[in-house]
Chains A and B, each alone.
Chain A
Amino acid sequence: RKEVEQDPGPFNVPEGATVAFNCTYSNSASQSFFWYRQDCRKEPKLLMSVYSSGNEDGRFTAQLNRASQYISLLIRDSKLSDSATYLCVVNRWGDYKLSFGAGTTVTVRA
């Protein structure tokens, strides 16, 4: 079983819609969680860290459910520029290795 699993999508949504997707992780010792976005043929860029209580950054909301070992990302009022692959990343406290999911592709259409 992969350490981090994501629904590959694609999620095709119209502009202005809300889209949400999850990521599950297998290692209960995981302590730090991140969402990165990766545009086609570009490097991954940190979108947001995910905190225990959940956190929001503008139109993006991340939630963490430790009991069920999943992380979610919700995008409100989708923009065309939100079209990208979203990578779920987990890390054990003090461990330098990040474990990356294969990504969820989101396409926002006009």
Chain B
Amino acid sequence: GAGVSQSPSNKVTEKGKDVELRCDPISGHTALYWYRQSLGQGLEFLIYFQGNSAPDKSGLPSDRFSAERTGGSVSTLTIQRTQQEDSAVYLCASSDRTSGINEQFFGPGTRLTVL
């Protein structure tokens, strides 16, 4: 079946601009996660959505970052007034949490470069 999809695959922007990154999870997966991976680094948790519950935003690095998930499916991560340190690969993952085992499946990521 179709996996997690993300768009765009690459985004180059100028410092100070806003960007929107999109994630389309696996159909039927209620949980959706955003991570960030900087060059040579591990994955950094950003935000988590589960069904209609309030999201866990505890990983967002600043108030320039926000995310929403419409209709329990597609999610958009928005970064306002981008800074060079925002350059990273932004990964989205989804999981079916009904089994209790949190196997997460990742999309191909969006590589963001802030000039």
Main secondary structure of the interface of A (DSSP, over half): loop
Q: How far is the CA of A42 from the CA of B91 in the complex (A)?
A: 10
Q: Which A residues are CB-close (under 8 A) to B108? A: 42-43
Q: Is the CB of B48 within 8 A of A97?
A: yes
Tell me the nearest residue of chain A to B42, going by C-beta. A102
Task: Tell whether, in the assembled complex, residue A43 and residue B91 are in contact, meaning their CB atoms are under 8 Å apart.
Answer: yes
Interface pair A101/B42, CB less than 8 Å apart: yes
Pairwise interchain contact A103-B102, C-beta atoms closer than 8 A: no
- Interface size class on chain B is 20 to 34
Q: Which residues of B contact A103 (CB under 8 A)?
A: 42
B contact residues around A98 at 8 Å (CB)? 45, 102, 104
In the assembled complex, A46 has its CB within 8 A of some CB on chain B: yes
In the assembled complex, how far is the CB of residue A50 from the closest CB belonging to chain B, in whole angstroms? 11
Nearest A residue to B102 by beta-carbon distance? A91
Q: Are A96 and B50 in contact (CB under 8 A)?
A: yes
| A66 in contact (CB, < 8 A) | no
B41 at the binding interface (Cβ < 8 Å) = yes
Say yes or no: is A10 at the interface (Cβ < 8 Å to chain B).
no
Residues in B lying within 8 Å of A, measured CB to CB? 31, 33, 41-43, 45, 48, 50, 56, 91, 95, 97, 100-109, 111
Residues of A within 8 A of B (CB): 32, 34, 41-46, 49, 87, 91, 93-98, 100-103
For this complex, 20 residue pairs linking A to B, each with C-beta atoms less than 8 Å apart, are A32-B102, A42-B108, A43-B91, A45-B106, A46-B103, A49-B103, A87-B42, A95-B102, A96-B48, A96-B50, A96-B95, A96-B97, A97-B48, A97-B56, A98-B102, A98-B104, A100-B43, A101-B42, A102-B42, A103-B42
